[in-house]
Every structure is written in structure tokens, then in C-alpha cells.
Structure 1
Amino acid sequence: MKDNYEFIKCPACGQIMKKVYLEDQGFMVDICLDGCGGLWLDNRELNKLDEHKEDITPLKEAYKGKTFEHVDKTKIRECPLCHKPMVKNNVSAKQEILIDECYSCGGKFFDKDELEQMRAQYHSDEERIADVKKLAQDSHSMQLILETMLSKEEFGQY
């Protein structure tokens, strides 16, 4: 899969990102090797890298021996492709890692080490599915509680 752009600037530190080819997946990713170590994934690339069994050796090799600058992860970042503000989103049902996601083009930005942290969260599909089901159940329960509270408030019971 070929990118539609020659280079992009890192949304976290502004450095030009380098392209790294992932042979097993058949596409290029953009890595900030001269700045913060961030990783840009185009729309639909994450699902080919999100499991610990998928080979990301070329990424690890690109990072080897490098030091990276610290960046403010709380800052709102701009998409390097369409220049729209990105949104902070949890990358898994565990809700432990926030990444930057562009709702316009579907791209995702991972700060240094976040992809590997995400990949280490689950060791099986069953474990991941169980967490997703629990999150969905918790969300549904929370919605029911809020609806009950709102209806009681509406009728002056609170």
C-alpha cells in the first residue's frame, strides 16, 4: 500500500517523520526518529499491527539506539494530513492508553511506546473480547443509572 504523501510533520514535535516499510503488513508507517519517537498510522493500518503476534520488527529496529525528546501528551494536536484537530481516544477496552485520532481522515498518532503498550495488554482474542463485553455492559449499566437519575430529578424525587 502506497502513501499519498511524500512526508509529514510529527503532530507532537513538528519534526519530519521517516517512512519505515513493514514487509509482513505490506505498507509504510511514519515514525518521528529525529524528535519524539511518535508513530503515525493511516486509516485502517492499526488493525494490522494491534496484536502482539503481528511482527513489528522493522519498527523496533528503527527505534534501536535512539533517544527521543519529551512532549506534552495533553496538548491538542493537529492531523498531519488534513490539518484538523485530533481527538484523544482510548485505544482499547482497558481504557489505559490515550492516542490522538483524526475523525476526518481516520489517521492515528501514537506517542513513543504506546503501540507496544497497547499490544501487550492482551495475550489472546478471548481476553480482548471479554474486556470489550465488560466495557459494553458497564456502559449500558451507566446509561440506565443516568436515565433513572434524570427521570427522578424530573419528577422532583432528588
Structure 2
Amino acid sequence: KMNGGVKKEDLGKENVEAVKKGCANLGRHIENVHQFGVPVVVAINHFTTDTEAEIRALKDFVASMGADAILCKHWAQGSAGIEDLAHRVVKLAESGASQFSPLYPDEMPLFEKVNTIVKRIYRGDEAIADKSIRDQLHAWEQAGYGNLPVCMAKTQYSF
């Protein structure tokens, strides 16, 4: 609901439209995971104020993205509250459905790896870096670190 524009103090009120609107952010995460060739399962962190209509909207959206959404109540039920999620993850892991593939080859230059992540994950036009940054990346390549993967992080709340 927050990704759909609802203020924190108003999260306790049903707002199916805000849930639907906020699903765009979740959709991007699902698309990103699919780019790696792995199946997706979404864990719904249930709050007592979540309504059946809101949960249904979220589950329907996730299904439309080719994934499953599992309601999780671990906050109230401990490990019993996420047993369904655990079983679904095990089933996916054992199914052979995963065809993991990284976004880029190991031998790609570091800045090109950064640019690939910017374009494919964040949907940016291109990565921009000062000469000093490019020089540092080149120095790392020369030192033998060019084949290592690049890890970039940002908030999960927006793209």
C-alpha cells in the first residue's frame, strides 16, 4: 500500500487500489529475478489489518507475473506461519525449473558490467562515471579482479 501512495498512518484502512498501484514495484522485482532464469515465489508479510480483498489483489497480480504468492504469518505463528512458504520454496528448488544465468559473462569489463546492471535491472539509459571511477575499475582489472561479479545495491522500495 505504501508503494501505492498510502501514508504510514493510513495503512490500517482497506485500500485495494493502492495495493494494485503498489504492485508495479513488486512487478519490477519479479521481472528482475526472472532475468536470471530462476522461478519466483513471493512471501506476503501479513499484517492483521490486511483484508482478504487486498491479499487477493496481490495474489492475482503475482499470478499474472507467472509466480506464486504465499501468505506468511510468522509474526503471529512463528515457524508454523511460514510452513507453506518453506514447502513451496523446497518444491521449486527440487523441480529443476531453475535455469540460472548471470546477466553478463565473467570476462566482461567491470564498467560494462555496471552498465549492464543499470540498463537491465534499473532500466536506466546508461551508467555515468567520472574518469577517476573508470580508472579505478581499470586498475582493479589490471590487478586481476576484472572477472569478479559486480554487486550493486539500492533501496528495494523504488526503481
Q: TM-score when scaled to structure 2?
A: 0.26
**Normalized per residue, which structure has more strand?**
1
**Normalized per residue, which structure has more helix?**
2
